[in-house]
Amino acid sequence: MVDYQYTIDELKEMKIADINAYDKSDAVNSFYLSGKKMWLDKEDRVGLVNSINIEKHTGKLDTVLWFDTIKYTIPITDAISMLNSLELYALNCYNTTQQHISAIYKLQTKEEIESYNYKTGYPDKL
C-alpha cells in the first residue's frame, strides 16, 4: 500500500488553513484587561468606539464595559485609547497573517511548505 502524496497546491492549502486557524485562535486574538484574557471582534470594537464617543460627547467621564458578566468601569479617555491600541494590534495581526499566506504561495517544495513557521512575526500582546 502506498501512502497518498499531497500535491504542492494541496500542501499550500493545508498550510494556509493552519495559518487561518492560528489567526483566529487566542494565541493571536486575545488581550488582557485587569488580568483577564479577552477578545473583541471587529464589530464589537467598532460598536464600542461609536458608543463611547457618544458618551464622551454627552459629557460623561467614565464608560462601562461588560465581559463575561464582569463589569469594568473605565475612564472614557482610557477606553478610547485601549480600543485604538486594540484596533492597531488587530490590523498588524491581519497584515502578518496575510504576509504568511503570501509567502506560502511563493514556496516551491514540499519541504519548504512543511517547515514554514507561520507563528512568527505577530505583534506583542497588549
Domain ranges of the chain: 8-115
Distance CA 71, CA 65 (A): 6
- Amino acid at position 52, single letter: I
**pLDDT reading at 1 higher than 90:** no
Distance CA 124, CA 126 (A): 7
Specify the residue for cell string 488587530: 90
DSSP state letter for 89: H
- Amino acid at position 16, single letter: I
> Across residues 77-90, what is the average pLDDT?
97
**pLDDT reading at 2 higher than 90:** no
pTM of the model: 0.89
Question: 8 near 110, Cβ under 8 Å?
Answer: yes
Question: 107 near 12, Cβ under 8 Å?
Answer: yes
Question: 80 near 56, Cβ under 8 Å?
Answer: yes
**pLDDT reading at 29 higher than 90:** yes
Residues, the chain? 126
Instruction: Please tell me the predicted confidence (pLDDT) of residue 78.
Output: 97
> Across residues 28-57, what is the average pLDDT?
95
DSSP state letter for 126: -
**pLDDT reading at 69 higher than 90:** yes
Instruction: Please tell me the predicted confidence (pLDDT) of residue 39.
Output: 96
For residue 29, how many other CB atoms are within 10 A of its CB?
16
